[in-house]
Amino acid sequence: MLDVIEDVRNEFKIKLTDKFEEEVISFLNTNGGNIYIGVNDKGDIVGINGNIDLLQRTIKDRIKDNIMPSTLGLYDVIVSEKYNKKYIKVIIARGNERPYYLKGMGMTPDSCFIRVSSSIQSMSNEMINNEFSKRTRNSLKNIVSPKQDLTFSQLKIYYEEKGFSINNNFLKQLNLYTDDGKYNYNAYLLADNNSISIRFGKYDGTNSVNLIENEDFGNCSIIKATKNILNKLEIENKTFTKIEYPERKEIKMYDYIAVREAVVNAIVHNDWSNEYSPKFEIFSDRLVISSNGGIQDNTTKEEFLEGFSLPKNKELMKVFNDLDLVEQMGTGIIRILQSYNKDSFEFFPNFIRVTFPFNENKFKTNTKEIKNNNLTEIQNSIIGLMLDSPTITQETLARLLDVNIRTIQRNIKTLIDVGLIERIGATKKGEWIVRK
């Protein structure tokens, strides 16, 4: 038997039930408490049958996914054992964003609950309105960091490199504490070590079936993570080349300035309160950046695309601004739209996705009308490539010009027949001579 009784602070459950979220909400909206699963109404430990690890994950997912506002940092799920029987203790704190309610049902008496004695009770409309009027705006500065033994060496170095003086009030000036003096979630994100995963994926194709590269740039200050992601995408930004006799044209895979703005926006404006991170993915034909959290309330898509949206995380915005990673609010969207159209943005209820098609498509060859010296464009292109690289192979010519090998062979024969090119040497070690 447990050494507590079922009362205003404790609830006993033999198993996980459909009413579990309502019980959690009642504690969040009152003074917090504990839910014991695997314990009967008398406090006897009956234990849990089945996969207890799976049950633990299910509990966490149900709290995280089915209750609003964010419950991040307000609960813990612990597996305990007594008398050789395992049970789960769900510890719930009093929330600071009351009233909490069932996701998808809104703030109504059917969705908002409080704890009264050893049972739950629906909140009246008057109670809901009173709690809502006192609600502190949902902000990372009000969410307690899941770790309190934080260090900020990386962050301080970044600030010192920008000429800032670091004093004893440095962290307080950045609003990295809650009102009761604990590190908040902003501090957790900016700390030297955290458990935030920020992933980069690269695929061999236009879909996510064949993953060829998978890296995690997280678990460190998100300033460092941002810089690492930017460096990676700069390295990946290869140059496409098209040689058309007599000139050579080059273009980058994507506009790095626009991509840089999208990366910073995705990280600064990500809804970190739902415990999900932005994603960065490269496919064979595009770069895709996804951030969690839709457009802010009271902001339209049109306003967002014009740059008229307030930052979700003002404290993070200030840090990124101080370190020259971001400039004025809203200018990032405008800079992206200088190089890409509005269709690059896709809006969903819970995330925003930006897609950057590769510029390689601008170099597709058109052989219909352009001619020089009575030659087709593809024949001029073959000559240009041979001038640039006399040892170039027919296979490479076909790949660069986006045609099949037979097309290359046919056009080479034409150029040889009219005396414009000549092959010198063996098939594998020879080279092309262009006769102007």
Average per-residue pLDDT in the chain? 86
375 & 347 share domain: no
Report if residue 273 sits inside a domain.
Answer: yes
- The pLDDT value recorded for residue 67 is 94
Domain end point (choices 117, 138, 159): 138
Q: Is 276 exposed, middle or buried (0-12, 13-18, 19+ CB in 10 A)?
A: middle
> pLDDT exceeding 70 applies to what percent of the chain?
89
pLDDT over threshold 90, residue 124? yes
Least confident of 12-26, 184-198, 346-360, 363-377: 363-377
Pair of tokens at residue 46: 């009956």
Confidence bin at 409 (pLDDT 50/70/90): very high
Confidence bin at 429 (pLDDT 50/70/90): confident
Element (H, E) at 409: helix 405-417
CA dist., res. 274 & res. 292, Å (int): 8
Q: In this predicted model, what pLDDT tens digit does every residue of 243-300 receive, in sequence order? A: 555 555 678 899 999 999 999 999 988 888 766 899 999 999 999 999 988 776 556 7
Confidence bin at 210 (pLDDT 50/70/90): very high
Q: Which of 27, 141, 193 is nearest to 95 (CA)?
A: 27
339 & 248 share domain: yes
Confidence bin at 7 (pLDDT 50/70/90): very high
Least confident of 21-30, 214-223, 292-301: 292-301
- CB-side neighbour CA atoms (13 Å) of 158: 22
Q: Answer whether 0.85 is exceeded by the pTM.
A: no
Confidence bin at 133 (pLDDT 50/70/90): low
Confidence bin at 303 (pLDDT 50/70/90): confident
pLDDT over threshold 90, residue 396? no
> pLDDT exceeding 90 applies to what percent of the chain?
54
355 & 369 share domain: no
Pair of tokens at residue 418: 């009219």
- The pLDDT value recorded for residue 20 is 97
Report if residue 343 sits inside a domain.
Answer: yes
Element (H, E) at 262: helix 256-268
Q: Which residues contact 106 (CB under 8 A, 6 or more apart)?
A: none
Q: Is 272 exposed, middle or buried (0-12, 13-18, 19+ CB in 10 A)?
A: buried
Domain end point (choices 307, 332, 361): 361
Least confident of 71-75, 220-224, 391-395: 71-75
Lookup result for tokens 């579990």: 20
Strand pairing partners for 34? 10, 91
345 & 369 share domain: no
Q: Output 111 or 417, whichever has higher pLDDT.
A: 111
109 & 61 share domain: yes
Q: Tell me the residue range of the domain where 421 lies.
A: 364-434
Q: In this predicted model, what pLDDT tens digit does every residue of 157-202 receive, in sequence order? A: 999 999 998 999 999 999 999 888 999 999 999 999 998 999 999 9
Span 347-376, average pLDDT: 68
CATH number at residue 399: 1.10.10.10
Report if residue 182 sits inside a domain.
Answer: no
22 & 99 share domain: yes
Least confident of 88-102, 145-159, 246-260: 246-260
Report if residue 172 sits inside a domain.
Answer: no
Pair of tokens at residue 382: 């073959």
203 & 345 share domain: yes
Number of separate domains in the chain = 3
242 & 116 share domain: no
Report if residue 88 sits inside a domain.
Answer: yes
Q: In this predicted model, what pLDDT tens digit does every residue of 60-79 receive, in sequence order? A: 999 999 999 888 778 889 99
In this structure, are residues 293 and 270 in contact, taking their beta carbons and an 8 Å threshold? Answer: yes
Confidence bin at 95 (pLDDT 50/70/90): confident
Span 399-417, average pLDDT: 90
Q: Output 31 or 96, whichever has higher pLDDT.
A: 31
CA dist., res. 79 & res. 163, Å (int): 49
250 & 339 share domain: yes
CATH number at residue 128: 3.30.950.30
CATH number at residue 309: 3.30.565.60
Q: Which of 394, 400, 405, 404 is nearest to 430 (CA)?
A: 394
Domain end point (choices 320, 344, 361): 361
Q: In this predicted model, what pLDDT tens digit does every residue of 28-54 receive, in sequence order? A: 999 899 999 999 999 999 999 889 999
Report if residue 73 sits inside a domain.
Answer: yes
Give the pairing type, strands 67-68 and 75-82. unpaired
212 & 110 share domain: no
Strand pairing partners for 251? 240
Q: Which letter does DSSP use for residue 39 in this model?
A: B
CA dist., res. 156 & res. 169, Å (int): 12
330 & 401 share domain: no
Report if residue 4 sits inside a domain.
Answer: no
- The pLDDT value recorded for residue 366 is 37
The sign one gets for the Cα dihedral 264, 265, 268, 272 is negative
pLDDT over threshold 80, residue 88? yes
117 & 253 share domain: no
Report if residue 81 sits inside a domain.
Answer: yes
